[in-house]
Structure 1
Amino acid sequence: MGLMDAMAARVAAGERVTFRPTGSSMVPLIRSRQEVTVAPADASAVETGDIVLARVGGTVYLHLVSAVDRARHRVQISNNRGRVNGWTGMERLFGICVAVDGVPRPRTGGKVRST
């Protein structure tokens, strides 16, 4: 089990987690090894532009919500460079990024699931 899978399992269990993901696909929103805090998400409240921890096609990503299809209970996940990872069911959306390097992310109020 990799780091992202481990974080997804913890968040799905109701924990708020802090970790340092690697990679450059979310620059400049998140740079490689920046500390992020992810809280359990109320999937029904997420919007386009939110950064979420979600499983798409067997892989867990900390990426952007690029579209929301509420009628089909799914979200589209993309990186910050224009690559679409795909659609996933809202039940596979585990958490929402609430802070990067201790700085709160905008528009996260009301999107954290109470545990």
Structure 2
Amino acid sequence: MHKIMIALAGAGLLALAGCASTMPEKAEAPQAAAKPQEAPKAQLTEEAKLALAQAEADVKAAQAKKALWTTAQDALKQAKAAAEKNDSAAVIKHAKEASEFARLGIEQTQYPVTTISK
């Protein structure tokens, strides 16, 4: 029984070793003399630029009042990442979220402090 297990283990190792071989690399095709021109990249709309600027100002104001929520920071990061990709719709969406969360954080500082009864 022990010899059969050793034989099966050896056969399994040989099978696995055969699967580990590398594929030969293909030769690259020669590049054409003239590259096709890339389509012009889309740019952010004015609305997206304004929304991003407003969100940055709102987050900065909330941070100055020590009322910045991490969700506002995250939304602003997402808006900036979308701006790098020139995705105006995503910039507007995330910038509005960042502004809203920053505003709510500032409003929260106006709430009365609650105490736990003794």
Q: TM-score, normalised by structure 2?
A: 0.23
More helix by share: 2
Q: TM-score, normalised by structure 1?
A: 0.23
Greater gyration radius? 2
More strand by share: 1
